[in-house]
Structure 1
Amino acid sequence: MTPAPSRAPARGDRRPATPAAPPAVALPPAFEAFYALHCACYLGYALAHVAESAAPRVLGEAMGEVVIRWADIVRRPNPAACAWTLVSTRIRQRGGGPGHDLEDLALRHLEQTALRHPALEYDAFVLHDVLGHSVEDAAEAMGQEVSRVRYALAAGRGRARPGAVGHPPASRLPDPARNTPQE
């Protein structure tokens, strides 16, 4: 028996090879549920910091970091807070579009030396005051207690008012007439 003739195409007849379909990546169902729950807040936050055309890519990069570290994140006491820290930090680092106006607006929040948690106050400000999310939704997306987000918003607003730093509001000052004995 003679071997079958080779049916390989001649060099000039070669077609470009079509790439194989990329492997399907199965994400953990808990991650997919987490992302579906927080997608709106996360995308809004990205849109507040980067150009609209770049926001999905920047958010995708940030969520890529989260999914890579997912196994470690879900072992922590507060996975939502850990994920928010990764996402918000990445988005702020990549910011460069219309978000600069927003950052200038909120710069007073970040420059105050008296702030204990400037990132919390800034993020609460962006999610609630700028993007219009409820305090509850902002707290859930950031992995914080609702009361803590309310306090951060109030503290930031108090320091943002001129002359408010270090002085209680006039309505809270003691009235000398009320502190003196009545005859």
Structure 2
Amino acid sequence: MTADRRSLPPRRDERAPREYPLEYDAFRQLNQQPYLRYARLRTGDPVRAARSVSQAFAALYARWPDTLRSPCPAAAAWEILHTTVGVEGQYGRNPEPQLPCVLTAAQADAVRLHHHLGLSVHKTAALMGTEEDSVRALLRSAARTAGGVCARASRRA
């Protein structure tokens, strides 16, 4: 009786087959927990958050070679996540403050990551695929925008 070659463990001189490329695995391991925290904040539901992050990683994997050739893979991945979570977040309650509606998407994401989730400017920039100075600028402009909206609202009250 001969054994099917595919069912045998790899020989020492062979590499074990990988389900995903090493770079993709590393990227996913590095970003999965912060992505889940972000998705949970935006959707207000752990099940929808997990589903949206899973869908985002599936979409990212489908485009992985193109993503690696892009100018900034982290930014490309963040855009996929942001869009996927936004679609999932449309269904059901959303406990996050509603003020980000006056902010740009990038401002709102910087505020969510840095202020709501407590991530450093460095980690926020890494997740969003941008420079730390850009995150600082987004946070400052978000504060000015939110401050202006709050000031106008209090004058009307």
* Secondary structure at the counterpart of residue 56 of structure 1: helix
| Displacement after TM superposition at 1:25 (Å) | 6.9
Aligned to 2:31: 38
Q: Distance in 1 between matches of 2:137 and 2:29?
A: 27
- Structure with the higher helix share, 1 or 2: 2
| Displacement after TM superposition at 1:74 (Å) | 0.2
Residue 15 of structure 2 is aligned to residue 29 of structure 1: no
| Amino acid aligned to 2:124 | A
Aligned to 1:91: 85
| Displacement after TM superposition at 1:40 (Å) | 2.1
Residue 52 of structure 2 is aligned to residue 58 of structure 1: yes
The worse-fitting range, judged by mean Cα deviation, of 53-62 and 145-154 is 53-62
TM-score, scaled to structure 1:
0.67
C-alpha change, 1:70 and 1:82, in structure 2 (3 Å) is: same
TM-score, scaled to structure 2:
0.78
Residue 91 of structure 2 is aligned to residue 105 of structure 1: no
| Amino acid aligned to 2:60 | V
C-alpha change, 1:97 and 1:136, in structure 2 (3 Å) is: farther
| Amino acid aligned to 1:153 | L
| Amino acid aligned to 2:35 | Y
Q: Distance in 2 between matches of 1:164 and 1:46?
A: 26
Instruction: Check the 8 A contact 2:114/2:124 in 1, yes or no.
Output: yes
| Displacement after TM superposition at 1:53 (Å) | 2.3
C-alpha change, 1:163 and 1:103, in structure 2 (3 Å) is: closer
C-alpha change, 1:49 and 1:163, in structure 2 (3 Å) is: closer
Q: Distance in 2 between matches of 1:142 and 1:41?
A: 11
| Amino acid aligned to 1:159 | T
C-alpha change, 1:128 and 1:42, in structure 2 (3 Å) is: same
Q: Distance in 2 between matches of 1:163 and 1:42?
A: 29
Q: Distance in 2 between matches of 1:154 and 1:132?
A: 16
| Amino acid aligned to 2:47 | S
| Amino acid aligned to 1:48 | L
Q: What is the count of residue pairs matched by the alignment?
A: 133
| Displacement after TM superposition at 1:88 (Å) | 1.0
What residue ranges of structure 2 are gaps of 5+ in the alignment?
1-16, 152-157
What residue ranges of structure 1 are gaps of 5+ in the alignment?
1-23, 110-117, 166-183
Q: Distance in 2 between matches of 1:160 and 1:150?
A: 15
| Amino acid aligned to 1:124 | A
Residue 65 of structure 2 is aligned to residue 75 of structure 1: no
